[in-house]
Structure 1
């Protein structure tokens, strides 16, 4: 006699989850969009307030420079303004040369314009670096590669300036002198060297070595493509040359009798010295270095002050507010 097979008790199954139950709540997308819009609006308002604050704080400088340059040669000032505009295009060219991926041209130039304005708000080039880093990440580059591209561009710019200084120094003998360092400065240099040695022997060195290896790998990859290498070095050279041309144009506008090669060497040396001081856009440090170099070359103090004010007016004060506006628009359009 066979017994009937025992049947397992049936377990009621839950109904399959529908697409509607797995989807987020209907109002979450709207809420996220509202938060993003509020954040973008806040950034835009902060940029506008910053622009107004910078203009009011340095209004006497802007007014004085405009008054001194009112009687200057307008043709040479136009040349200087054109050279200042060209610096943003050359910076975009150098940034494109630092990466293998093709970047959107118009947005790249706009980002350099916005970065130049942001660079005069935050110290030591942090503003320009943050804008370019965010732009590269938005273009699809990973964060380490974006940071490496900025390092490649900065290295090329520094090397170009050193080469130009070495090429112009023999034509202007006696202009560049090695400064006498006081004992305190010598001690600070030795302390900095000791700190670097300690960091190299510490646990931070493996990370630094990894970052350096990434940068060197990107440099080799860029130079394996002749078009990218030409853009990197050509843009870096044009950037330094156009800034020098802007200063030369202002000296010609105020009829300051200095040779163009000498003025270019003064700018290159002064900008290199000002980079050692972490001020926003070199404000104060670059002004003092330029004025010192011009007066050391035999220029009257009043004429040197007019040249510095005119150069700053063309490269900083006039583009500052439009640059911050472009920065806000790039943020709002999610390009940054």
Structure 2
């Protein structure tokens, strides 16, 4: 059956990135549907999800490449409604999920590919219809709803890369993994680690959220408000050896604790800085003295995302994405931004798109 192609797309744009207008820099409008290129796929979105990066772009705090008046959002799931004449990977009716860095198909990330992030360097997913290069999409796992699948592009793939991205140091059964907080990346990392047979130490500042983490399989919970030296406490839980992997999302304020927790030869994957800057942070000698690998990543490749989606389909219950109980409509995007910024959420904040 032929797909109905709308003439217009409802969308948000980031009209300023200097922080002066806050989230009021987000503007909603209805625009003509993009002209489809020969190698492009036209996607009707059903859902999107938010990341910390989306919030800090209009606040002027994002340090990587962005363009003016960009359509925000890197994460989206939808249905293909049209394809260009040279497209071979998809056909109308296929269910797809967006890739964060549209040009990172496989192998190490290049400088050029790092500038192809949706919602930053390229128009993103917080719209009803969008055109994308066929190389920048993957098939949606069959066992997920569009809302669940819309959480995979950034948080899911980042956590997968953190634990599986080093060929000679992937997470394995019996190892220890340390996660921080209850945001999307940390919860995905907990799930991926447990699916691999690893033991997880999770930190949180909320006893209520600690209960949820335990329900998801965390072996040990440390409340960082009650235990400021949580890095040493985590290491003690391993028998004094230290954890094998730290998924570092908080940034400079927590890196000293991550170093205190890591074992010799362990890996600290540096992902973000949700806790903000710190006046006193570890330096060169701290990393040297702990004899570990500190590795920065920017999400992951399409090849890794394909691997992750296959794992999710093979483990439908263990790896079902955790979506926050509060769901927003596309027209309520500013409220969704405010809600995530408040820190009330558990898991991914999602937007349903009609």
Give the alignment's TM-score, normalised by structure 1: 0.23
| Structure with greater helix percent | 1
Give the alignment's TM-score, normalised by structure 2: 0.22
Higher-RCO chain (CA-CA 8 Å, sequence separation at least 6):
1
